[in-house]
Amino acid sequence: MKIKSAEFVVSNSDVAQCPKSMLPEYAFIGRSNVGKSSLINMLTSRKSLAKTSGRPGKTQLINHFLINKNWHLVDLPGYGYARVSKSAKKVFQKFITQYFAFREQLVTAFVLVDIRHKPQPIDLEFMQWLGENGIPFSIIFTKADKLKPKAIENHVEIYKNVLLETWEETPNCFITSSSKSIGKENLLEYINSLNENIQLTSP
């Protein structure tokens, strides 16, 4: 799939104000400073569609982008370690959980994880929450350009082994690097295949 058009639609903290269309949507979420905005810009081939910042916690709203006029990419606030107040974090957590609870248009979530680090409890707990609530998700490992191929393989294997301690099987995984455009085609083809499947099964 090639992304021919990508346009900002709306930002808000109220799930009820999200777009009313029933277009399929894909939510991107991860720990603060994991490289989410850079990944979105890389996928869409836009330099500043999503705002990037060296300061963790920049994304503080639900951001909808219309892609190719037929699906929504959703940029959700990062969780953990953001330099925001505790009260603001509670608000984030509330509308993130409401988004996942009430957004029928959601096809799947993508949980971003920095491949350089060992499995973090905050990521594992969030994935556990998604699983317990029946929300499908894939893992996107970011910043793969920072490691050698063998190290990437080892880190992914470690992650899968940790997950298999509590999961029957591991979710889909994608290896990406925003600076090197690694993983772009695989990720977009996966989304495209899900979109095509939705069209085939829709009444």
Please state the domain extents for the chain. Answer: 6-201
Average pLDDT, the chain: 89
- Read off the pLDDT band of 80 (50, 70, 90): low
Q: What is the mean pLDDT of residues 160-182?
A: 96
SS3 content of the chain, % helix, strand, coil (to 5): 40, 25, 40
Tokens encoding 14: 């109220």
Higher pLDDT, 148 or 53: 148
Q: What is the mean pLDDT of residues 187-200?
A: 93
Say what the pLDDT of residue 192 is. Answer: 97
CATH superfamily of 6-201: P-loop containing nucleotide triphosphate hydrolases (3.40.50.300)
Q: Is 66:4 a contact under the CB 8 Å cutoff? A: no
- Read off the pLDDT band of 142 (50, 70, 90): very high
Rounded Cα–Cα distance for residues 25 and 2 (Å): 17
Q: Is 54 left (phi over 0), alpha (psi -120 to 50) or beta?
A: alpha
Q: Is 34:112 a contact under the CB 8 Å cutoff? A: yes
CA 125 to chain centre: 16
- Beta bridge partners of residue 139, listed in sequence order: 111, 173
Classified as helix, coil or strand, 115 is coil
Single pTM value for the model: 0.90
